[in-house]
Amino acid sequence: MTASFSLDWFFISLIFVAGLYGMMVSRSLLRQFISLEIMSKASLLGLISAGAKTGNLALAQTFIITMIVIEVVVVAAGLALLVKNYRLTGSIDVWSLNKLKG
């Protein structure tokens, strides 16, 4: 069981690092939102793995449902920002966000 647990965490950290790399490298807002979602899914997988390891899967599932609700709000706000930026500047580049003042 411990070998499976450590293997789970290896792949979870690999997925998280892939999302972090996408956040750091990309200048496109859409790609950054996708990378943020990849990172959040890795954290959800970590919660599932930790809940299964400790035998407290119900608590892990409640945290996961809460995180999913928060993710929906973050994605909705981020996509609204993306659409507003695209309408004003014609691009989804991060560096054009300073034109959204006022």
Domain boundaries, the chain: 2-95
Rounded Cα distance between 95 and 56, Å, is 44
Helix (H, G, I), strand (E, B) or coil at 49: helix
For 2-95, the fitting CATH number among 1.10.287.3510, 1.10.760.10, 3.40.980.10, 1.10.260.40 is 1.10.287.3510
Q: Which of 3-17, 34-48, 73-87, 88-102 has the lowest mean pLDDT?
A: 88-102
Q: Residue 91: what pLDDT?
A: 86
Rounded Cα distance between 72 and 70, Å, is 5
86, pLDDT greater than 70: yes
Q: Residue 61: what pLDDT?
A: 94
**pLDDT, tens digit (0-9, with 9 covering 90-100), for 40-76:** 999 999 999 999 999 999 999 999 999 999 999 999 9
Q: What does the mean pLDDT of the chain come to?
A: 90
